[in-house]
Amino acid sequence: MKSVAIGLTSGDPNGIGPEVSLRAASRPQPANRRLVLIGHRAVWQRTANLTGLPLPVEVADLHAPLPPVATWSPAELRAPRIRPGAICAQAAKAAYAAILAAADAAQDRRLQAIVTAPISKEAFHRAGLRIPGHTELLAKRANRRVAMMLFGKRIRVVLATRHLPLRNVPRALSIDAIVEAIQMLAKALPWMGFPQARIGVCGLNPHAGDGGALGTEEQTLIAPAIARCRRMGCHVQGPVPADVIFYQHLAGVYDAVVAMYHDQGLAPMKMLSFDSGVNLTLGLPYVRTSPDHGTAFDIAGKNRANPASTISALDWAARLAGRPNPWA
């Protein structure tokens, strides 16, 4: 089997990212996987001490043949001050450097996939890094249009808008944005093993607008976007009220759902797959997944973090890296 090199970033060193990444990498892996923990060596040393897990060997670069599990501290990465649970600009800068190093290594194919551990947006803000999240940062680095997909064992969702205040969602929506989300999902589903790519699209308003009585976005934006995608050959239906569509999805009517805003899609997804959900960035020339949870500062440094979501993200990264990427 062809070797697959996957990078796992530390995330915010003061959160649970280093713990869940090391725990996931320390589990028995298929023989063809090569895992690289990306972050300052001191972070991995502290995490190994915390968890009682072996500290992997360190590699100087990613050009030479890799051992099954290693750590890599890029030259531009400075040692952060580790204060578990603290929101710290210095920690954010360390997380940022690790993400960029991982992205660049994936772009030039030293890595076939990356799994990114959680960051703190508040810490990024304190560090002067005005970035909504990983998705936007990686899109900018690769100069690609992307979409955010989140999924668990029974549910798959793509967001038409991402990290926005709720009051800004209606004016951020457009026919083109909805079409792009549907088309991205239509490409992703066969990659994930759903060749029919049956897609349901949420309405924005209660009851999908009730024919205009509760809002007109369904008539002016969502329905025209769906019609355009149908003409392009997509198997898509909607707009469907959000309080109905996820029931239909679980019943097998749709393979996945396009939601109009963050919590509309993530609330049902996390209810069903809180400990095993995966975030997948669509549109990148490499595979990027992440666990679908945050830094969990409240339990950081306490040896209590659950790595299940990171394990799922790692397994999916390896699986998708072994298949033709629609955006490669």
Count CB neighbours of 304 within 10 A. 11
Instruction: For residue range 223-268, list pLDDT tens digits in order.
Output: 999 999 999 999 999 999 999 999 999 999 999 999 999 999 999 9
Q: Is the pLDDT of residue 1 over 80?
A: no
pLDDT at 132: 85
Task: Over range 309-325, report the average pLDDT.
Answer: 97
pLDDT at 69: 98
Q: Is the pLDDT of residue 77 over 90?
A: no
Count CB neighbours of 269 within 10 A. 23
Count CB neighbours of 232 within 10 A. 12
pTM for the complete prediction? 0.94
Torsional class of 106: left (φ above 0), alpha (ψ -120 to 50), beta (otherwise): alpha
Instruction: For residue range 159-176, list pLDDT tens digits in order.
Output: 999 988 999 999 999 999
Return mean pLDDT, the chain.
96
| CA distances to 17, 127, 264, 286 from 91, in Å | 12, 9, 31, 26
DSSP annotation of 206 reads G
Q: State how far Cα 102 lies from the chain centre.
A: 14
pLDDT at 99: 97
Instruction: For residue range 86-111, list pLDDT tens digits in order.
Output: 999 999 999 999 999 999 999 999 99
Q: Sheet harboring 256-259: ordered strands across?
A: 57-59, 69-72, 33-38, 4-9, 113-115, 287-291, 278-282, 147-151, 156-159, 256-259, 198-202, 235-240
Band (76; pLDDT cuts 50, 70, 90):
confident
Which two structure tokens, joined as six digits, stand for 125? Answer: 């803000």
Instruction: For residue range 183-211, list pLDDT tens digits in order.
Output: 999 999 999 999 999 999 999 999 999 99
Which structural domains are found in the chain, ordered by start? Answer: 1-146+283-328 (3.40.718.10), 149-276 (3.40.718.10)
